[in-house]
Amino acid sequence: MHVTSSQFSDRAKDAISNEQLQAGLFIFGKIFPLLRDATASQLPEFEALRDNARDIKVHTLQNLGTYLEAFEARVTQAGGRVHWARTALEANSIVERLCKEAGAKNIIKSKSMVTEELELNDHLIGKGYDVVETDLGEYIIQLRHEKPFHIVGPALHLTAAQVSDTFYEAHQKHGRTQKVDDKVKLVEEARIVLRERFKNADVGITGANFLVAETGQIALITNEGNADLSATLPKKHIVVTGIEKVVPTLDDMAVLLRILARSATGQETSNYVSLYSGPRRERDADGPAEFDVVLVDNGRTDMLGTPVEDMLRCIRCGACLNSCPVFTTVGGQTYGSVYSGPMGAVWTPALASVSSAAKLPNASTFCGKCEDVCPVRIPLPSMMRHWREKEFEAHLTPSGQRWGLGVWAWLGQRPSLYRAATNLAGIGLRLIARPRRGAPVASWLPFIGKGWTQSRDLAVPKEPTFLSQYKEGRRR
């Protein structure tokens, strides 16, 4: 997975100064959490379902091999094939081989974060295949050569005017020479162009929200219906999915379904919930003649038994992104990874490396809101803290920060010196930050305090201090 997370700080500055993006993020950060809370409050058993969902995922991960083998057996029994891919390279090579077997030229895809992670589109296009995304948001960012802005809404950061410009440039070769600005007309135009691609597709590639071990079925949960067209119209259906998506039974999947849409978009359920098992049967009127499932590891088994194993419980709802004060300030593309927000801050170092994604676990206030809203109760802050510790152990933390933390830790073990140092620092800050004749002596700090005061006011410390209040409280 190619990541550019080292540029997080520079991109964050650009995002904060982008007034259009900030206006969109403000609305986005308010509406989705409100919708989630409203639908959750209408379901009295919502918190109990979260506990049940967590337990299902924990049990599945503890018996992952057993359930994956059971899933493979059921798929084979139904006439499909299962392929195992240890790495992104293997997964892409398998899909390429399957497309070649089908004599394919035109490929349609539905939204799939795993294929984004594998960079499957780039691989297939590089081999000469014509690949088009069919989810509207994914289609737009494919035309713009961008990464997804949000795990659920990949193009939420764009205005109708920007989409209009993109379509006008891209659709002229399809005979759409008139520029369209109206949102409804833009959707109609995309539908007309994509419909031709559906009709001419040789292979349809989808992801899977869940894999059901007891039946060998895959579940697709969408709002647009394009995934169902991708799965049923072409003569070959290829499913590319992570191994952590398996659940033991249909009943278990039903539990996860009840919290997925509520957590993601505040819906009671998605518009389309479809289950597929194997290729077309003799009695079926239509459907794909071939059904292949590519199970992708790509670093997931390395997470088992580690402090970040619980991340494999993730059902990709995006609730942690919607509630994160950092994500709703800088947006998804600032992260430089297909996975953004709190879940991306844990996934990206696990799948790429700590050195390439060290800034992401640090992009958190540790307010704990992400864990509060996670439908499967993933302890995201503690896992981000784990990656910060790994960053520190690998000496990737800036030297100023390391020295500062070292001095703080040294003082913390010497209470008298700590109190003396904090008292002196408080006196010094009051001298330079308290206004004189309407203006403070200084409005920023040098050295290790420079980064803090670049984007914040240099506040005058309040009195009395916490320690003095604490002592006073003990005397009472």
Whether the pLDDT of residue 462 is over 90: the answer is no
Q: Cα Rg for the chain, rounded, in angstroms?
A: 25
- Across 420-456, b (16+ Cβ under 10 Å) vs e yields eeeeeeeeebeeebeeeeeeeeeeebeeeeeeebeee
Give the CA-trace dihedral at 376, 381, 387, 392, to 10 degrees. -170
- Kindly state the average pLDDT of the residues 275-304: 95
- Kindly state the average pLDDT of the residues 370-378: 97
Whether the pLDDT of residue 459 is over 80: the answer is no
pLDDT of residue 294: 98
Whether the pLDDT of residue 460 is over 80: the answer is no
Whether the pLDDT of residue 448 is over 90: the answer is no
Is the pTM above the cut of 0.85?
yes
pLDDT of residue 235: 96
pLDDT of residue 469: 84
pLDDT of residue 45: 97
CA distance 62 to 34: 34
Place of tokens 């759409």: 176
pLDDT of residue 273: 96
- 207-240 tens-digit pLDDT: 999 999 999 999 999 999 899 999 999 999 999 9
pLDDT of residue 475: 64
CA distance 204 to 236: 6
Whether the pLDDT of residue 301 is over 70: the answer is yes
- Kindly state the average pLDDT of the residues 373-380: 98
> Which residues lie closer than 8 Å to 2 by C-beta, 6 or more apart?
119
Whether the pLDDT of residue 156 is over 90: the answer is no
Q: How far is CA 76 from CA 7, 150, 232, 284, 292, in A?
A: 45, 35, 19, 18, 10
Percentage of residues of the chain with pLDDT beyond 90: 75
Whether the pLDDT of residue 134 is over 80: the answer is yes
Mean confidence (pLDDT) of the chain: 92
Determine the 3-state secondary structure of 430 from DSSP: helix
Residue 247 corresponds to which amino acid?
A: V
